[in-house]
Structure 1
Amino acid sequence: MAQKDDAPSGGGAGGKVADEVKKGAEEIRQAAGAAGEDIADDLRQLREDIARLSETVSAIAASRGSAAASAVSDSMRAVKDNVFATAADACSAGADIAGSARQHAASFAGDVEDTVRRNPLGAILTSLGVGILIGLMTRSR
Protein backbone atom coordinates (compact mmCIF):
# COMPACT_ATOMS: atom_id res chain seq x y z
CA MET A 1 0.00 0.00 0.00
CA ALA A 2 1.49 3.41 -1.01
CA GLN A 3 2.08 6.13 1.57
CA LYS A 4 0.46 9.52 1.20
CA ASP A 5 2.68 12.60 1.48
CA ASP A 6 -0.28 14.70 2.60
CA ALA A 7 -0.92 12.63 5.74
CA PRO A 8 -1.24 14.73 8.90
CA SER A 9 2.05 15.24 10.70
CA GLY A 10 0.55 14.02 13.98
CA GLY A 11 0.04 10.42 12.75
CA GLY A 12 2.48 7.67 13.77
CA ALA A 13 5.89 7.79 15.38
CA GLY A 14 7.39 9.78 12.49
CA GLY A 15 4.73 12.44 12.95
CA LYS A 16 5.41 12.54 16.67
CA VAL A 17 9.12 13.03 16.01
CA ALA A 18 8.34 15.84 13.58
CA ASP A 19 5.94 17.42 16.09
CA GLU A 20 8.59 17.24 18.82
CA VAL A 21 11.16 18.80 16.50
CA LYS A 22 8.71 21.59 15.68
CA LYS A 23 8.07 22.14 19.39
CA GLY A 24 11.81 22.24 20.04
CA ALA A 25 12.35 24.73 17.22
CA GLU A 26 9.56 26.95 18.57
CA GLU A 27 11.06 26.80 22.07
CA ILE A 28 14.43 27.84 20.63
CA ARG A 29 12.75 30.74 18.81
CA GLN A 30 11.02 31.84 22.03
CA ALA A 31 14.24 31.55 24.07
CA ALA A 32 16.14 33.59 21.49
CA GLY A 33 13.41 36.27 21.54
CA ALA A 34 13.45 36.35 25.35
CA ALA A 35 17.25 36.64 25.36
CA GLY A 36 17.03 39.60 22.99
CA GLU A 37 14.47 41.27 25.26
CA ASP A 38 16.66 40.61 28.33
CA ILE A 39 19.64 42.18 26.58
CA ALA A 40 17.57 45.24 25.66
CA ASP A 41 16.36 45.61 29.28
CA ASP A 42 19.92 45.27 30.59
CA LEU A 43 21.12 47.91 28.11
CA ARG A 44 18.36 50.29 29.16
CA GLN A 45 19.27 49.84 32.84
CA LEU A 46 22.98 50.29 32.07
CA ARG A 47 22.27 53.55 30.21
CA GLU A 48 20.23 54.85 33.14
CA ASP A 49 22.98 53.92 35.62
CA ILE A 50 25.67 55.58 33.48
CA ALA A 51 23.53 58.73 33.15
CA ARG A 52 23.03 58.91 36.94
CA LEU A 53 26.74 58.32 37.53
CA SER A 54 27.63 61.03 35.05
CA GLU A 55 25.31 63.50 36.77
CA THR A 56 26.74 62.66 40.20
CA VAL A 57 30.34 63.02 39.07
CA SER A 58 29.53 66.26 37.28
CA ALA A 59 27.90 67.65 40.42
CA ILE A 60 30.89 66.68 42.57
CA ALA A 61 33.34 68.09 40.05
CA ALA A 62 31.35 71.34 39.78
CA SER A 63 31.66 71.84 43.50
CA ARG A 64 35.48 71.42 43.23
CA GLY A 65 36.02 73.92 40.48
CA SER A 66 35.04 74.57 36.92
CA ALA A 67 38.34 73.39 35.37
CA ALA A 68 38.23 70.08 37.21
CA ALA A 69 34.53 69.77 36.45
CA SER A 70 35.16 70.25 32.77
CA ALA A 71 37.93 67.64 32.68
CA VAL A 72 35.91 65.09 34.64
CA SER A 73 32.77 65.80 32.65
CA ASP A 74 34.66 65.30 29.38
CA SER A 75 36.15 62.06 30.69
CA MET A 76 32.73 60.83 31.79
CA ARG A 77 31.25 61.69 28.40
CA ALA A 78 33.98 59.71 26.69
CA VAL A 79 33.47 56.75 29.04
CA LYS A 80 29.70 56.96 28.58
CA ASP A 81 30.07 57.05 24.80
CA ASN A 82 32.40 54.06 24.90
CA VAL A 83 30.04 52.12 27.16
CA PHE A 84 27.06 52.92 24.96
CA ALA A 85 28.95 51.89 21.83
CA THR A 86 30.05 48.62 23.45
CA ALA A 87 26.55 47.96 24.75
CA ALA A 88 25.05 48.66 21.33
CA ASP A 89 27.56 46.29 19.73
CA ALA A 90 26.69 43.62 22.30
CA CYS A 91 22.97 44.11 21.66
CA SER A 92 23.51 43.87 17.92
CA ALA A 93 25.59 40.72 18.32
CA GLY A 94 22.90 39.23 20.57
CA ALA A 95 20.21 40.02 18.02
CA ASP A 96 22.34 38.46 15.26
CA ILE A 97 22.85 35.32 17.34
CA ALA A 98 19.14 35.11 18.12
CA GLY A 99 18.26 35.51 14.44
CA SER A 100 20.78 32.89 13.45
CA ALA A 101 19.42 30.50 16.10
CA ARG A 102 15.88 31.01 14.74
CA GLN A 103 17.05 30.30 11.19
CA HIS A 104 18.96 27.18 12.19
CA ALA A 105 16.05 25.89 14.27
CA ALA A 106 13.61 26.37 11.40
CA SER A 107 16.03 24.79 8.92
CA PHE A 108 16.69 21.86 11.27
CA ALA A 109 12.97 21.28 11.82
CA GLY A 110 12.36 21.32 8.07
CA ASP A 111 15.24 18.93 7.41
CA VAL A 112 14.07 16.49 10.06
CA GLU A 113 10.50 16.65 8.80
CA ASP A 114 11.65 15.98 5.22
CA THR A 115 13.79 13.06 6.39
CA VAL A 116 10.89 11.59 8.37
CA ARG A 117 8.58 11.90 5.35
CA ARG A 118 11.12 10.23 3.05
CA ASN A 119 12.03 7.45 5.46
CA PRO A 120 9.36 6.91 8.15
CA LEU A 121 10.67 3.45 9.11
CA GLY A 122 14.16 4.85 9.64
CA ALA A 123 12.70 7.63 11.81
CA ILE A 124 10.83 5.10 13.92
CA LEU A 125 13.92 2.92 14.33
CA THR A 126 16.06 5.95 15.17
CA SER A 127 13.51 7.07 17.76
CA LEU A 128 13.46 3.59 19.23
CA GLY A 129 17.27 3.52 19.41
CA VAL A 130 17.44 6.95 21.06
CA GLY A 131 14.76 5.89 23.55
CA ILE A 132 16.66 2.74 24.44
CA LEU A 133 19.90 4.71 24.81
CA ILE A 134 18.25 7.26 27.10
CA GLY A 135 16.64 4.44 29.10
CA LEU A 136 20.02 2.77 29.56
CA MET A 137 21.69 6.02 30.57
CA THR A 138 19.02 6.95 33.14
CA ARG A 139 18.62 3.45 34.57
CA SER A 140 19.55 3.31 38.27
CA ARG A 141 22.65 1.23 39.01
Structure 2
Amino acid sequence: MAQPNAQDDFAKLSADLSTLRSDVAKLTETLAAIAKSEGGAAADAITGRLRYGAARAEAAASGLAEEGYAALQDAKARAQALGGDLGATIERNPYGSVLAALGVGFLFGLLSRGR
Protein backbone atom coordinates (compact mmCIF):
# COMPACT_ATOMS: atom_id res chain seq x y z
CA MET A 1 0.00 0.00 0.00
CA ALA A 2 1.28 3.40 -0.89
CA GLN A 3 1.69 6.09 1.66
CA PRO A 4 -0.48 9.14 1.06
CA ASN A 5 1.62 12.06 0.08
CA ALA A 6 0.79 15.38 1.77
CA GLN A 7 1.45 17.32 -1.42
CA ASP A 8 -0.95 15.12 -3.41
CA ASP A 9 -3.61 15.50 -0.73
CA PHE A 10 -3.13 19.27 -0.71
CA ALA A 11 -3.39 19.39 -4.50
CA LYS A 12 -6.61 17.33 -4.44
CA LEU A 13 -8.00 19.54 -1.67
CA SER A 14 -7.11 22.67 -3.64
CA ALA A 15 -8.79 21.26 -6.76
CA ASP A 16 -11.92 20.32 -4.77
CA LEU A 17 -11.98 23.79 -3.20
CA SER A 18 -11.66 25.39 -6.63
CA THR A 19 -14.55 23.27 -7.92
CA LEU A 20 -16.62 24.14 -4.86
CA ARG A 21 -15.94 27.86 -5.38
CA SER A 22 -17.04 27.69 -9.01
CA ASP A 23 -20.17 25.73 -8.02
CA VAL A 24 -21.02 28.32 -5.36
CA ALA A 25 -20.47 31.13 -7.90
CA LYS A 26 -22.79 29.39 -10.40
CA LEU A 27 -25.39 28.85 -7.68
CA THR A 28 -25.18 32.52 -6.70
CA GLU A 29 -25.67 33.58 -10.32
CA THR A 30 -28.63 31.23 -10.70
CA LEU A 31 -30.25 32.48 -7.50
CA ALA A 32 -29.69 36.09 -8.54
CA ALA A 33 -31.30 35.41 -11.92
CA ILE A 34 -34.29 33.71 -10.26
CA ALA A 35 -34.68 36.57 -7.78
CA LYS A 36 -34.44 39.12 -10.58
CA SER A 37 -37.05 37.37 -12.73
CA GLU A 38 -39.39 36.83 -9.78
CA GLY A 39 -38.85 40.41 -8.66
CA GLY A 40 -39.64 41.60 -12.17
CA ALA A 41 -42.81 39.51 -12.22
CA ALA A 42 -43.83 40.89 -8.83
CA ALA A 43 -43.11 44.43 -9.98
CA ASP A 44 -45.18 43.85 -13.12
CA ALA A 45 -48.05 42.49 -11.03
CA ILE A 46 -47.92 45.47 -8.68
CA THR A 47 -47.74 47.90 -11.59
CA GLY A 48 -50.75 46.22 -13.19
CA ARG A 49 -52.73 46.47 -9.96
CA LEU A 50 -51.82 50.13 -9.58
CA ARG A 51 -52.90 50.89 -13.14
CA TYR A 52 -56.17 49.03 -12.60
CA GLY A 53 -56.81 50.93 -9.36
CA ALA A 54 -56.00 54.25 -11.01
CA ALA A 55 -58.38 53.50 -13.89
CA ARG A 56 -61.17 52.60 -11.46
CA ALA A 57 -60.56 55.75 -9.40
CA GLU A 58 -60.61 57.87 -12.55
CA ALA A 59 -63.88 56.27 -13.67
CA ALA A 60 -65.43 56.83 -10.23
CA ALA A 61 -64.29 60.46 -10.17
CA SER A 62 -65.69 61.01 -13.65
CA GLY A 63 -69.02 59.51 -12.61
CA LEU A 64 -69.15 61.68 -9.50
CA ALA A 65 -68.33 64.79 -11.54
CA GLU A 66 -71.18 63.99 -13.95
CA GLU A 67 -73.58 63.44 -11.05
CA GLY A 68 -72.47 66.70 -9.44
CA TYR A 69 -72.97 68.61 -12.68
CA ALA A 70 -76.46 67.11 -13.08
CA ALA A 71 -77.33 68.08 -9.49
CA LEU A 72 -76.05 71.61 -10.13
CA GLN A 73 -78.20 71.94 -13.24
CA ASP A 74 -81.25 70.63 -11.32
CA ALA A 75 -80.66 73.08 -8.45
CA LYS A 76 -80.23 75.91 -10.94
CA ALA A 77 -83.53 75.05 -12.65
CA ARG A 78 -85.34 74.85 -9.30
CA ALA A 79 -83.90 78.21 -8.18
CA GLN A 80 -85.03 79.84 -11.44
CA ALA A 81 -88.51 78.36 -11.02
CA LEU A 82 -88.67 79.55 -7.41
CA GLY A 83 -87.50 83.02 -8.45
CA GLY A 84 -90.17 83.14 -11.14
CA ASP A 85 -92.86 82.04 -8.65
CA LEU A 86 -91.69 84.62 -6.12
CA GLY A 87 -91.74 87.36 -8.77
CA ALA A 88 -95.27 86.41 -9.78
CA THR A 89 -96.41 86.45 -6.13
CA ILE A 90 -94.88 89.90 -5.59
CA GLU A 91 -96.60 91.26 -8.71
CA ARG A 92 -99.98 89.90 -7.55
CA ASN A 93 -99.66 91.22 -4.00
CA PRO A 94 -97.09 94.05 -3.74
CA TYR A 95 -98.25 95.42 -0.37
CA GLY A 96 -98.29 92.04 1.30
CA SER A 97 -94.81 91.37 -0.04
CA VAL A 98 -93.48 94.63 1.39
CA LEU A 99 -95.05 93.85 4.79
CA ALA A 100 -93.61 90.33 4.72
CA ALA A 101 -90.14 91.72 3.93
CA LEU A 102 -90.45 94.21 6.80
CA GLY A 103 -91.47 91.41 9.17
CA VAL A 104 -88.56 89.22 8.12
CA GLY A 105 -86.16 92.15 8.53
CA PHE A 106 -87.57 92.89 12.00
CA LEU A 107 -87.12 89.24 13.07
CA PHE A 108 -83.53 89.20 11.80
CA GLY A 109 -82.86 92.39 13.71
CA LEU A 110 -84.21 90.90 16.93
CA LEU A 111 -82.23 87.70 16.49
CA SER A 112 -78.96 89.45 15.67
CA ARG A 113 -79.05 91.85 18.59
CA GLY A 114 -76.71 91.10 21.49
CA ARG A 115 -77.99 90.41 24.98
Query: Above 0.5 in TM-score?
Result: yes
Match of 2:44 in 1: 70
Match of 1:111 in 2: 85
Identity rate of aligned residues, in percent?
35
Letter matched to residue 102 of structure 1: K
SS for the counterpart of 1:65 is helix
Structure showing greater relative contact order (alpha-carbon pairs closer than 8 Å, 6 or more residues apart): 1
Tell which structure's C-alpha radius of gyration is larger.
2
TM-score, structure 1 normalization = 0.52
User: Structure 2: where are the runs of 5+ without partners?
Assistant: 1-35
Q: Tell me the distance in 2 between the aligned counterparts of 1:123 and 1:86.
A: 46
Q: Which of residues 51, 59, 82 in structure 2 aligns to 1:85?
A: 59
Where do 1:111-130 residues align within 5 Å? 111-130=85-104
Match of 2:9 in 1: none
Q: Tell me the distance in 1 between the aligned counterparts of 2:55 and 2:112.
A: 52
TM-score, structure 2 normalization = 0.63
Q: Where does structure 1 differ by over 4 angstroms across 4 or more consecutive aligned residues?
A: none
Aligned residues: 80
